[in-house]
Chain A
């Protein structure tokens, strides 16, 4: 036969390939990250200070499309944790409802525990197994309780989100959430194919999340041991993050700059002692301390072998300045430079292009700004799987 054979791949259009649900459909999704971590100083991998296997994440997601306008999503994260005697814990990561806005095409209103649309944190897809910089440095959590209006600009020109959140993150929902909301705005534009530029900002008058127990609530001031009151908070929180991404063929470069300022308000009791050392009384003292933090995060990446292999590098910096008297010196112990590299091998990709089964290997070196500190080397080897199934008519 002279004719070349035409290869017809009649892929069954089963519901397993759902990219967006149709009314009446329910999607189950499960992610598992099985990770080995080795952390040492100056590549002394045989003498590590961290050497462990963990289930780093174990997301179980349930999404239901009630109608073409209304859907809900619920995500639990089962993972290893040494905070509990059983060695594992579960946390609520997402629980929200989406309502399409009939008067604004491609926009929706979202209520509940949802993504925190700041910088790269909300779109971080863990191509690098470690966290985004904002997540890692505690600028904000990746999810929080709130209300948002979010959507896509016409002709794929970008996306925009405006929202109000609790401001304490997904781990806090009760007494450690104060009455002061966080206001957030995010804009990303793709003016040209392959170029994305964006900007996020949030502001929050105060949060309460850091002082939930006595151990974190103690500081020393001279010879006195000070116990923080529960109303100690980070006040005047303001963060901004310009982001950008350039992609051409198999190459991409993603980056962000983060600036995060706040004032920590301390309210504590000093213990007063007499000349013999006996405790006489206590005095309530209020003190404030300014913090100014900033950093950059850059990640170049190349995708090879029909998207089976991703190779990436990463470079990050973080600088933390803390008020001391009238000045803001750098806290060198809390400031660092990080760099590293890694690769991902995809054994299976799902029909929607997302990872199905992949192996990840990453190395990160962190060099503290504090003089005389040995660099910290972290190796992460991870098997990550994700699957989903869509069922009609539940």
Chain B
């Protein structure tokens, strides 16, 4: 009877529970990273095919709930409503952190401003501070660049920094590269991009950030400080499975968290998992 149920589950869920294929779906932020990890994993375990699809964190989580994928990539934490829906469907979403993303706030190279607090940044993006001279800079109108609402980065920045609604004047760009191009061409511009995009910065520069007035300002290029959790704009990047991962799914996740996998994480412009998340992951993979 148990074998029958397992077979029916494997056949009907189509979630690649049988050895040989792992379907991963979700966040576009994680798409390239997990694709690279999958490519490297295939050299380690050539009998396993890892299929990676984007569509957004919500699409991935929904696919996990419906049994259409084995791993959901998510650049945000799963919501209570999604957990409730998952559990009602017999799915137990289990969280693993595979990388850390840091957001850099960038300004034009000609802007003398080098640092801001999170509070100042929030006021700027809410449209309450509209001129650089209000934060010690030149007399120049601030031009806001940000992501589009469907982006997890848009949501993260709004929740962590803006803590309200974005100013309606913010220019919504479809990706990190476009934000950089906008800021490079605009001396009044300010934008936020992933850590991997500030390497070899040309025409723009990252700002050091402090959580509060009086705190130490930390530059996103200071790897030790960022890894030590002292940079205020970091977020974990998640993968969700149905219960504790098993079989080929577990093998792939263990590879992602291995030194080789975490090196790929760094090469792709993200940060490796910090010790506190590593501890959480260990509890899941026990």
Query: In the bound complex, what is the Cα–Cα distance between A155 and B94 (angstroms)?
Result: 11
**A4-B42, A23-B165, A156-B82 given; A249·B53 CB < 8 A:** no
Given contacts A67-B165, A303-B12, contact A159 B84 (CB under 8 A): yes
- A248 CB contacts on chain B under 8 angstroms: 5, 90
Nearest A residue to B242, CB-CB: A193
Q: Decide if A9 touches B87 in the complex (CB within 8 Å).
A: no
Given contacts A8-B53, A11-B53, A17-B55, contact A152 B84 (CB under 8 A): yes
* Docked-complex contact A13 and B54, CB < 8 angstroms: yes
B68 at interface by CB-CB < 8 Å: yes
Select B65's contact among A4, A17, A22, A353, beta carbons within 8 Å: A353
The answer to whether A6 touches B66 (Cβ under 8 A) is no
**With an 8 A cutoff between CB atoms, is B263 at the interface?**
no
| Nearest CB of A to B206, in Å | 26
Instruction: Produce 1/0 per residue, B155-185, CB < 8 A to A.
Output: 1001000000110000010000000000000
Q: Is A154 an interface residue (CB 8 A)?
A: yes
B45 CB, nearest partner CB in chain A, Å: 9
A394 at the interface (CB under 8 A from B): no
Q: Is A153 an interface residue (CB 8 A)?
A: yes
Q: Which of A6, A250, A351 contacts B13 (CB 8 A)?
A: A250
Using CB atoms, name the residue of chain A closest to B5.
Answer: A249
Considering only CB atoms, which chain B residue lies closest to A309 in the complex?
A: B12
B218 at interface, CB cutoff 8 A: no
| Cβ–Cβ contact A15 & B90, under 8 A | no
Q: In residues 86-112 of chain A, which contact B (Cβ within 8 Å)? A: 105-106
Whether A42 sits at the interface, judged by CB under 8 Å, is: no
Given known contacts A6-B52, A7-B52, A10-B54, A68 and B84 CB-to-CB distance under 8 angstroms = no
- Give the distance in Å from the alpha carbon of A307 to the alpha carbon of B14 in the complex: 8
Interface string of A299-321 (1 = CB under 8 A from B): 00011111100000000000000
Task: State whether A19 and B13 are in contact (beta carbons under 8 Å apart), knowing that A8-B52, A152-B81 are contacts in the complex.
Answer: no
In the complex, are the beta carbons of A2 and B88 less than 8 A apart? no
Given known contacts A152-B80, A304-B12, A196 and B87 CB-to-CB distance under 8 angstroms:
yes
Whole-angstrom distance from the CB of B106 to the nearest CB of chain A? 23
Q: Total interface residues on B, using CB and 8 Å?
A: 58
Q: Which of A20, A22, A245 has the most CB of B within 10 A?
A: A22
Contact B58 A249 (CB under 8 A): no
Verify A2–B80 contact, CB threshold 8 A. no
Contact bitstring A160-200, B, C-beta under 8 A = 1, else 0: 00000000000000000000000000001010111010000
Instruction: Tell me which of B110-118, B146-154, B220-228, B275-283 binds A.
Output: B146-154
Determine if A392 is an interface residue (Cβ-Cβ < 8 Å): yes
Q: With both chains docked as a complex, state the minimum distance between the C-beta of B103 and any C-beta of chain A, in angstroms.
A: 18
When the two chains form the complex, which single residue of A105, A156, A249 contacts B87, counting CB atoms closer than 8 Å?
A156
Size class of the A contact interface (CB-based, 8 Å)? 35 or more
Stretch at the interface among B31-39, B120-128, B135-143: B31-39
Give B16 Cβ to nearest chain A Cβ, in Å.
11
**Chain A residues in 8 Å Cβ range of B49:** 4-7
Chain B residues, CB < 8 A from A7: 49, 51-52
Cα-based distance from A2 to B154 in the complex (angstroms) = 40
Of all chain A residues, which has the CB nearest B43?
A: A3
| B62 proximal to A (CB < 8 A) | yes
Q: Is A361 an interface residue (CB 8 A)?
A: no
Q: How far is the CB of B64 from chain A (nearest CB, A)?
A: 10
State whether B149 touches A13 (Cβ < 8 A). no
Q: Is A28 an interface residue (CB 8 A)?
A: no
> B88 contacts A245, CB within 8 Å?
yes
Contact B42 A249 (CB under 8 A): no
- B12 engages A18 (CB within 8 Å): no
Known pairs A9-B51, A20-B58, A23-B165; A247 contacts B149 (CB<8 A): no
Task: Say whether A352 faces chain B, with CB atoms less than 8 Å apart.
Answer: yes
Q: Which residues of B contact A249 (CB under 8 A)?
A: 5, 8-9, 12-13, 67, 90
A68-B67 contact given A4-B42, A196-B88, A352-B59, CB 8 Å threshold: no
Known: A8-B52, A153-B80, A305-B12. A17 touches B46 (CB 8 A): no
Question: Could you give 6 example pairs across A and B, Cβ below 8 Å?
Answer: A158-B84, A250-B8, A351-B59, A352-B58, A352-B59, A392-B148
Additional A-B contact list (4), CB under 8 Å, known A156-B82, A252-B90: A8-B35, A20-B58, A156-B80, A353-B68
By a beta-carbon cutoff of 8 Å, the part of chain B in contact with chain A is 5, 8-9, 11-14, 28, 31, 35, 38-39, 42-43, 46, 48-56, 58-59, 62-63, 65-68, 78-93, 148-150, 154-155, 158, 165-166, 172, 243
Interface residues of A (CB under 8 A from B): 2-11, 13, 15, 17-20, 22-25, 67-68, 105-106, 152-159, 188, 190, 192-194, 196, 245, 247-252, 302-307, 351-353, 392
